[in-house]
Every structure is written in C-alpha cells, then in structure tokens.
Chain A
C-alpha cells in the first residue's frame, strides 16, 4: 500500500475523484479476520470527524486489549471465540489473546489495506518504502476477530457478521474461505445474503488454490469475489552461479549478506534423508552435507519461509527457493531468516541442472532492494483461484482482480514477519501475498465508491467496479497469467483488473436486489425451505407458473454453458442460450451502442436492441443476447467481451463459454 494507490490511479490527483471528507467518513469497513494491533499508526485518527451517531459498534476489552483502544479511525473491535473454544478446547492465552488483539498479523494487514490511515516512512526492512495507506483512508475500520490460531469456525463467523451488519458497517471484508459449498450450507454466503439485503457490500477473497481450474471459494452471486494480481513493483535478488550464469529472483532478506566469494550450492534432494527432501521439510536436511552451503529447495507443501528456517537450522548459509511448474514464473517475496532468493520454474530448473552437472557447483545471492515500474503488470497471480464456478457454472467468478502480490501493510507486534515462532523480529509493516490481500483493496475501493455514491446498492457498486475493469494492458495486449506466461482468461480475472478512477463514473450499472437473487435461487430449484434458510424468510416463494433462468440474473458478466446433449461428449445440433440484462443509467443522457468481440469457434452472438438511449438518471433499459453455438467437444471453452459505449463510458462485460 506504499505503491497500490498510485498503481490504481487514486494517489495524487486521483484522490480528487472521491470525497475527502463528509460522506468519506460515513463508511465503516468491517473486517472479519484475526483482529487488530491498535497501536499501529495505520489506525491514527488525526483529522477524522466524530464517529457517526448511528454507529453501534463496540470496543470489547479482553486479554491485552482495553476498550480505550478504539478511536475515530478504529471505531469497533469485537471478538467471537465461543465456537472456536467449544471445538478446540479452552485457548492457551499465552499463545493467543481472548480479545480483539491480533496475534497473527493477517487482520491488521487486511484492515489497514482497506482503510488504514496514511503513514509516512513505512517499509519492511527498507523494502517498499513510502507512505502506506488504505484504499479508503478516510473511512472507518471495525474489526471482528473470528479467526484464531486453529482457524475460523462458521459459528463465530456468523456471529461476527451478525454484529457487523447490526453495528452499521457499509462494507464487509472477508479474506477467508472454505471449499465451494451449496449456498444453503455456506455460512459466509448466508451471512452475506442478509448483509446485501441491508445494503452492505460483501467483498471476499477468491482463494489461493490456483492455478488449477474450478478452485474458487465464495462464489455466491451476492458476494463480490476477488482474485489477485501483481503490481508494478518487484524485489529482485540475483543468483550468480559458478558457471558465470546469473538468474533473477526475489527476496526480502535484510540481514547479513553472504560473502563475496561464491559458496558451494547443493540441491536439497541430494542432502536429505527423506524421499521428499527436495521440499526442505523440517528435519529432512543432513547438517553435515548442508553446513556453509547454499541449498536449492523446491516450493510446495510447507510454507516458503519455513523452508528457509529449515535450511538455517541445518547450518546452511543460504537458500534458493525454486518454483515448480504449478507456480510457473510467479515470484512471491518473503522476509527470509537467511540470505535467500525465490526463483521461477525456468530459473530453478536451470540452477538445478547446473548443480547436477558441475562437480563443484558454487553460487552467491545478491539482494537488490526495491524496483518499481515493472512491466507487464498486473499479471494474474498463479496462486489466485480460478473458475469455472463449481457451484453455479452460469455465474462467472471471480468477479475481479486487484493487487495481491507482495503487499506492504501494517503488522502485529506479536509475531515476526514470517509468522514463524523462531522469528523474533518485530516490524510495523509486513509484505505478504494472497487473495487475502487483494480482497481488502476492493473493500476499500468499494468504501470509496460508496462515499461518492451513497445511494447505490451493493450490486450497483460491484457493477461499477466490474464494468470499468480492464482486461488488457495500455498497449492493447491482453492480461497475462503468471502461472503459464500466456494470456489470461475471464476464468482467471473475471471482468479484469479493478480501475477505481473509472469505476466512479461507470455511466450504466447492472443493478440487483433481494428479489432478483431469490429468483436466482428459484432457478436453481431451491425448495422453499432452502430459500428460507438463505434468505431468512418464508415470505419469499417461487411462482410455479413462472419460468426462472439462472442466466437472467442481472449480472455484469456472462457465463454461457452448453450442456452436452448426447452424453457422449458431443452436441448434436446448434443450441441457443438467451440471457436478458437490464442497465440502469447512473450518468447523464446518452446513446449507447453495443459491440462484441469473442474468440470462440462456431459461436454467433446477437444483441437486441443494439442501441440503448438514456435520457435521465435512474432510467432502466433491457436487452437480450442470444448465443448460438454449433456442436463442440465437451470441455471446450471460449471467451469474449460485450461493451456498451456512448463514446465516453465503456460498460464492459466479460463472456465465458463452456461446453460441458
């Protein structure tokens, strides 16, 4: 967050796009996470007006946490541990605080990313130095501690959401998830439905189980699902081999440097007593074979920083952490406890090849600090979970991507930057990666949008963020995927990368309300009991005479699914899938024309009407899209984009085609 406001176009003059006072402080972002470290400067309330009178939040006292810890920035702090202690037994208060106190760091990082105050001279050991600030620096923060050292239990999450909505939060940020579950059994989806009904936007992380397909969590259509991308900043480290070859990786190591003279380098698999020794798991390295050497470890299974600890514990001098094919060329920087560099799959393979072929291989590692203006950026993070949506394939998820790689934000004073018990370092800010980090970026941006447009519904806010997102670099080439180095698709980035400067003036929005989502559940053939479990009311019923269609949910994206007719992997005839959408004018009068672009063989698209004219704010106009496809082998996918433009606004929707 010393870089993301600039990367997102909301630093400097970009700040002027949004209110700096008044309604800006009327939005409270509720963050359900591991709690808060209230002493962080990111919760300084200088310059903020009195807390709005309607706010009902509370500052709960507990272990090492006084009710006086809250202020005009941190307006609420509660904790919910009944489910956790019922399941896990009484917590050890030497290890974790029975209070909103953040013992982990994750919650302090996410809440300060969303709405932290500006803090100058922020850095992690000098890396990423600058002014750290939340995306909505004038908004308030309320934290709801629902995650503990043993995880986050749904009974506590629901209690946290119950309190957050009741307190008056306008945006909820949840950087957590479970597997993909039916909406009626997913507590986050159930809590988010009620939040949506009460005009609260719920932003959730998509998950870190990419790049495999169908790995998303938090896919309910009333949730804003956020994937992760890189920003234009890097922390290079150079691995110089004895054969004269140099490879670039990343590192946040800040301690004593390696000697200038090259050191022996070994591959962990060859200095281990374990069959999986290449992974540098605890206790698997043989100190006699490792002492004083640089060890190449493969990424996977255990935490990246723990591998460095294992090498150090075995008396190794340094570590090269090599990506595997699953991570591709994506480089995630870590504050290792010894000189270390993370390298891509290609570089890792080359280094391991050198180690295997040279009888006396040597290397050194040089840490090179912080570089900015790195291109191309953003690139979809390899770890970011991907579509298709397993629960409802007709809803394209994730919705959007935002910065989630190497993000600097506030940190707890209770744990070191690696989170390892052995890490006794304490830092005010830490750099970490995950969709946990991209989610609060969008939560903060939603708070900014809400301050600019307090009358917009959660669906309208999300629509603005999605239809103005970009899926191509400024030169016109499509966004790339770090996992493959190839072009990314809407299954990876949804509508694209968030662009708040454009989202504030989207021209048109796809709005949705409770009844639309209930109709969606009717289309899914939910029973009245299941609908009541999600929507909390038996008053919502499906009309037996009405034909419901999932594809008609007024979503800002399209997911067109052709189901195999013959059951033998083929479709016998051309099939037409029809989606209807309604646009609401939130700009001035304008005549919008549609254009489509798609790269799906054998598909024809027809939009009716092809022009929509709006004369007043709030005016609604509908259109229908017919997608006609000839037979395609099962498993085929294709992608496209539909754009309504009045010459000033481009209201863009991604399209994903699936033949299944």
Chain B
C-alpha cells in the first residue's frame, strides 16, 4: 500500500540554520530529504517573508520525524479555508 501524503506547513527557526548551508532553501531541502526515503516528499513552497519554512507533501511518519528535527518549530497539517 502506498502511504497517504498530505500537505504540511513546516515552521523553521531561521537562526538555527547550520553553518554548512549556504542559504535557507538549501537547508529546507536537506531537512526534507532527511526524513523522506528516496526523497519522495515534495516541497511545494519555501516561505521567506511571512513565515520561515516551507510546505511539503509528507506522510504522517515523515511529518512526525520532521517535527523532531533540530531547528523545526512546528509541523502543522494544511487547513482549508472558505470564502465568506
């Protein structure tokens, strides 16, 4: 069975970026690859202005693993909003 993926918003602590990375996008990508076997998890957006972090399609296990990583503040499942 293929594990279901859902979109998660990953909040990162900008100041916690390890020195080995040249920029935050690189760090976000590496963080994503580290929790995703075969790099199956896909990044949707990298945010820079209103949020430090990214959104990605993750399995529940990958989201859980991500939440435990150094520099990750929160991993929130995507929410649906409706027009008023």
Nearest-Cβ distance from residue B41 to partner chain A, whole angstroms:
11
Task: Count A-B contacts at CB 8 Å.
Answer: 130
Determine the chain B residues whose CB is within 8 A of the CB of A159 once the complex forms.
45, 47, 55
* Chain B 53-83 interface residues, beta-carbon cutoff 8 Å to A: 55, 57, 73-74, 76, 78-83
Assembly CA distance A528 to B11 (angstroms): 13
| A434 adjacent to chain B (CB < 8 Å) | yes
Q: Is the CB of A154 within 8 A of B84?
A: no
Q: Is the CB of A536 within 8 A of B14?
A: yes
Nearest-Cβ distance from residue A390 to partner chain B, whole angstroms:
16
| A63 adjacent to chain B (CB < 8 Å) | no
Given A158-B9, A165-B49, check contact A538 B15 (CB 8 Å). Answer: yes
- CB nearest to A198 among chain B residues: B49
| B50 adjacent to chain A (CB < 8 Å) | yes
Determine the chain A residues whose CB is within 8 A of the CB of B15 once the complex forms.
537-539
Determine the chain B residues whose CB is within 8 A of the CB of A151 once the complex forms.
80-82
Given A86-B42, A158-B50, A191-B51, check contact A537 B14 (CB 8 Å). Answer: yes
Assembly CA distance A372 to B14 (angstroms): 55
Q: On chain B, which size bracket covers the interface? A: 20 to 34
| B26 adjacent to chain A (CB < 8 Å) | no
Q: Is the CB of A205 within 8 A of B84?
A: yes
Determine the chain B residues whose CB is within 8 A of the CB of A207 once the complex forms.
84
Given A162-B48, A184-B74, check contact A154 B9 (CB 8 Å). Answer: yes
| B30 adjacent to chain A (CB < 8 Å) | no
Q: Is the CB of A86 within 8 A of B44?
A: yes
Nearest-Cβ distance from residue A374 to partner chain B, whole angstroms:
24
Q: List 19 A-B contacts (CB under 8 A).
A: A34-B83, A82-B55, A86-B7, A86-B57, A155-B55, A158-B9, A158-B47, A158-B55, A162-B48, A162-B50, A184-B74, A185-B76, A190-B50, A191-B50, A206-B84, A208-B84, A435-B84, A537-B15, A539-B15
Interchain CB contact (< 8 A) of B84 among A82, A155, A176: A176
Determine the chain A residues whose CB is within 8 A of the CB of B40 once the complex forms.
none
Determine the chain B residues whose CB is within 8 A of the CB of A341 once the complex forms.
none
Q: Is the CB of B45 within 8 A of A188?
A: no
Assembly CA distance A188 to B83 (angstroms): 13
| A616 adjacent to chain B (CB < 8 Å) | no
Interchain CB contact (< 8 A) of A157 among B6, B42, B44, B81: B81
- CB nearest to B55 among chain A residues: A155
Q: Is the CB of B7 within 8 A of A529?
A: no
Nearest-Cβ distance from residue B24 to partner chain A, whole angstroms:
12
| B33 adjacent to chain A (CB < 8 Å) | no
Nearest-Cβ distance from residue B29 to partner chain A, whole angstroms:
16
Assembly CA distance A181 to B80 (angstroms): 12
Determine the chain A residues whose CB is within 8 A of the CB of B6 once the complex forms.
87
| A147 adjacent to chain B (CB < 8 Å) | yes
| A658 adjacent to chain B (CB < 8 Å) | no
Scan A513-547; emit 1 where CB is below 8 A from any B CB, else 0.
00000000000000001101100111100000000
Interface, chain A (partner B; CB < 8 A): 33-34, 80, 82-83, 86-87, 106, 147, 151-155, 157-159, 161-163, 165-166, 175-178, 181, 184-188, 190-191, 193-195, 198, 205-208, 434-436, 439, 529-530, 532-533, 536-539
Interchain CB contact (< 8 A) of A176 among B49, B52, B74, B81: B81
User: Which residue, of A33, A86, A439, A530, has the highest number of chain B Cβ atoms within 10 A?
Assistant: A86
Nearest-Cβ distance from residue B49 to partner chain A, whole angstroms:
5
Determine the chain A residues whose CB is within 8 A of the CB of B57 once the complex forms.
86
Known: A87-B78, A162-B45. 14 other contacts (CB 8 A): A83-B45, A106-B83, A147-B81, A155-B55, A158-B47, A162-B48, A162-B50, A175-B84, A177-B82, A177-B84, A190-B51, A436-B83, A529-B73, A532-B73
Nearest-Cβ distance from residue B63 to partner chain A, whole angstroms:
13
Given A195-B50, A532-B13, A538-B13, check contact A187 B83 (CB 8 Å). Answer: no
- CB nearest to B11 among chain A residues: A533
Shortest 7 CB-CB distances between A and B: which pairs? A155-B55, A194-B50, A205-B84, A436-B84, A191-B50, A82-B44, A152-B81
Assembly CA distance A191 to B16 (angstroms): 21
Determine the chain B residues whose CB is within 8 A of the CB of A190 once the complex forms.
50-51
Nearest-Cβ distance from residue A146 to partner chain B, whole angstroms:
9
Interchain CB contact (< 8 A) of B51 among A162, A435, A538: A162
Q: Is the CB of B14 within 8 A of A33?
A: no
Determine the chain A residues whose CB is within 8 A of the CB of B45 once the complex forms.
80, 82-83, 155, 158-159, 162
Assembly CA distance A265 to B53 (angstroms): 60
- CB nearest to A176 among chain B residues: B81
Q: Is the CB of A153 within 8 A of B78?
A: yes
Assembly CA distance A157 to B11 (angstroms): 15
Determine the chain B residues whose CB is within 8 A of the CB of A152 once the complex forms.
80-83
Nearest-Cβ distance from residue B19 to partner chain A, whole angstroms:
17
Given A86-B44, A177-B84, check contact A536 B51 (CB 8 Å). Answer: yes
Given A155-B9, A187-B9, A190-B50, check contact A178 B79 (CB 8 Å). Answer: yes
Assembly CA distance A205 to B81 (angstroms): 12
Determine the chain B residues whose CB is within 8 A of the CB of A154 once the complex forms.
9, 78-81
Given A83-B55, A158-B47, A165-B49, check contact A530 B74 (CB 8 Å). Answer: yes
